[in-house]
Structure 1
Amino acid sequence: MDIKEYEEFCKNSKYGNFMQSADWAKVKKGWIPEYVAVRDENGKINGCTLVLVKKIPILNTAMLYAPRGFVCDTHDSKTVRKIFEQIKLIAEKYHAYTLKTDPLIDETDFISIKNLVDLGFVYHGEKRGYDNTQCKENYVLDIKDKSCDEVFANFKSKWRYNIRLAMRKGVECKFCGEDELDDFMELMKETGRRDGFEIRSEEYFRNFLQAFHGNAKLCITKLDGKVLSGALLVNYANVASYVYGCSSNEYRKYMPNYLMQWTMIKYAIESGCRTYDFCGIPYWYDETHKNYGVYRFKQGFNGKVKTYAGEFDYVFRNGVNHIADLAMKLKKLV
């Protein structure tokens, strides 16, 4: 498979996603990338998917994962089947016991869901929140063919006020690269301690920035040289995705996160993106959940909740399925 040709199709497809890119494969250390592409009657690619392979040597098997795959019109059952037939060859190569995928299809897209189920996939639409590998619910903002003024005017009034307040108070926001990674990591550690989640390593974030060749950026806010908040944004397939964020416990009254989001949204608009993806809002529907504040903050930018179908599993080897799943969990490989 010609990776350049694969990447050209993926990044220009309306079904493309940064987690299906060859650049994402470089970020996922410890996984072996395999690329699948199928063609129409004219020899042009009309569907593809990245398959990440995690070997489990002790059991002579492997887990396959197609993150946010397949990159095609999933209503087209013929193309979906052709992609899956190629994946089965990969499964044979690695003696894989299962394939997991979480495609970017809506939870009400029953045609796409049926096309996968008809191939033998088990659909896990009942999973919620942290039970999924990738968040099932994202918050997205439509910015296609819109100006910065139009988008800003549509924010809730308090959000517009807070953005202007941050600027009046002297908060500055800029994009940067690895030069600000140390400060970003300090804030990420602080955020992890405050909110109770494990953080990725500095090496992971460095790999992320390097792999996407300038399409992944750090966004940092500062006040008088003090770093207040940070984010990692990736621009791929005309979608700008806010993947990671962090902020200081101090200086919240200066509203740095509001200005940071606006800076990233402006960049997305000026870059010609059709969507700004705030990414996950797990448990957005539960006002009592500790994560509800994430949704409350994002919804002020006046986007919409996007609920995906969720996860699909295909089992190739029933005999090792449960044992291998247990081994993966014990080693924290998923």
Structure 2
Amino acid sequence: MPLELLPTQDARAYDEVVARLPVTSALQGWGYGEARRELGQVPTRYFIQDQGQIVGALQLIRKRLVPGFDLLYAPRGPVLSSMAQLPDLAPALRKLARPTDTLIKIEPPFARTPELIPEQIGPWRRTEAEQPEHTITVNLMRPPAELLSNLHSMARRNVKTAQKFGVEVVSGGEELFEEFWTIFTATNERAQLGAFPKPYYLTMLRSGASGGGDAYIVLARHDGRALAGGFFLAMGAITNYLFGGSIKDDRPAEGSGAEGAERKDAKAPTAFYWGAMQDAQQRGYRSFDFWGIPRKLDEGKHSFGVYRMKENFGGEKVWFPGYELPLSPLAPLIVRGLRWRKTQNNLRKRGSAEDVL
């Protein structure tokens, strides 16, 4: 039976549904949609109803593709009681679409291994997701000692080294943002990754924790300076490491007696990851999503080192597939054009046609 979509302006009631259902993501939370407004995109939220009962939630972002053609996009959504409901959602989405809406793209948040990802779910066809499809997740429902023992031996050594050097891991909100921003922008410049304007991240930090979700920052400091850090968005049982990075401690070594002598590596990035996992446990989250590893491993890419670092923390590799529902006969042509534009942008910025992840 087709499902119904009921529009809502009640942020708290909407987030309560997003937080409690099993097939869910923080990117379907109200706060993430408010951040998208900073990019000129328009979020609309709906309760999904089945015979009068709320069985899901959906945040659709309307994005302009080219003049006269829009995309309806559900980042890591929709939120559902069961994936079996997904085919029945298509008729309701077709009804609410405008004449300018060319395509609906969804990213149902059900983790799978590659061989278990269906190419088609009812009318939905497999497509490239906008969010990172490949990631590593760690089950936090284990004692800290067991989590530590599950780390790669090198990561465990680096955790001990960081502790020996007195690296401090702290978490909080907007009061930590400027330290995070310094690290984040330096990392993006070094790796030629690019970023959205600053208000996008500030809005997500403020709005992400205002309803039923959570948004926070974790930093690893050595001798008072933040050297690694990340931005987290959480909902329900899962926290997601969305943005972050690290910088080199270029301060001279203290008490070395040699002018210009470098400090020893305090292993702040490892301390950050381990501290963020411990902090997530203390906040009550049951799963930690590292948010993105490369589709193809290439030792020459910045993302390869990031992948190796994340892999050291003993998680499980999973995939979050994307699906699409064309609304116009021009949809395939527009999708190919957008893919070409993205490839050209990658070539101009990084000298490679491949995406970052």
Asked if TM exceeds 0.5, the reply is yes
State the partner residue of 1:188: 184
Q: Any idea what the Cα deviations from partners look like across 1:40-68, whole Å, max 9, x if unmatched?
A: 44x33112221111246842x42111111
State the partner residue of 1:103: 108
State the partner residue of 1:140: 137
Q: Quick check: which one's helix share is greater?
A: 1
Superposed counterparts of 1:143-154, under 5 Å: 143-144=140-141, 146-154=142-150
State the partner residue of 1:64: 72
Task: Report sequence identity in percent.
Answer: 20
Q: Go from structure 1 to structure 2 and tell me whether the alpha carbon gap of 1:248 and 1:319 turns closer, same or farther (over 3 Å shift).
A: closer
Superposed counterparts of 1:317-332, under 5 Å: 317-319=328-330, 322=333, 326=337, 329=341
TM-score by length of 1: 0.84
Q: Any idea what the Cα deviations from partners look like across 1:52-90, whole Å, max 9, x if unmatched?
A: 11246842x4211111122225541xx323322221122
Q: Go from structure 1 to structure 2 and tell me whether the alpha carbon gap of 1:286 and 1:9 turns closer, same or farther (over 3 Å shift).
A: same
Of 12, 22, 35 in structure 2, the residue corresponding to residue 14 of structure 1 is: 22
Q: Distance in 2 between matches of 1:323 and 1:171?
A: 50
Counterpart contact for 2:21–2:56, Cα < 8 Å:
no
Gaps of 5+ in 2: 1-6, 250-262, 346-357
Counterpart contact for 1:141–1:277, Cα < 8 Å:
yes
Q: Go from structure 1 to structure 2 and tell me whether the alpha carbon gap of 1:57 and 1:233 turns closer, same or farther (over 3 Å shift).
A: closer
Q: How many residues align?
A: 314
Superposed counterparts of 1:1-334, under 5 Å: 1-2=7-8, 3=10, 4-29=12-37, 30-41=40-51, 43-55=52-64, 58-59=67-68, 61-73=69-81, 75-76=83-84, 79-92=85-98, 95-105=100-110, 106=112, 107-109=114-116, 113-115=119-121, 118-119=122-123, 121-124=124-127, 132-144=129-141, 146-213=142-209, 215-250=214-249, 253-283=265-295, 285-287=297-299, 289-308=301-320, 310-319=321-330, 322=333, 326=337, 329=341
Corresponding letter in the other structure for 1:222? R
In the TM superposition, residue 280 of structure 1 has moved relative to its aligned partner by: 0.3
TM-score by length of 2: 0.79
Q: Go from structure 1 to structure 2 and tell me whether the alpha carbon gap of 1:63 and 1:252 turns closer, same or farther (over 3 Å shift).
A: farther
In the TM superposition, residue 271 of structure 1 has moved relative to its aligned partner by: 2.3
Gaps of 5+ in 1: none
In the TM superposition, residue 200 of structure 1 has moved relative to its aligned partner by: 2.7
Q: Distance in 2 between matches of 1:280 and 1:58?
A: 31
- SS state of the match for residue 79, structure 2? coil
In the TM superposition, residue 213 of structure 1 has moved relative to its aligned partner by: 1.9
- SS state of the match for residue 289, structure 2? strand
Pairwise CA RMSD: 2.6
Counterpart contact for 1:38–1:82, Cα < 8 Å:
no
Q: Go from structure 1 to structure 2 and tell me whether the alpha carbon gap of 1:97 and 1:276 turns closer, same or farther (over 3 Å shift).
A: same
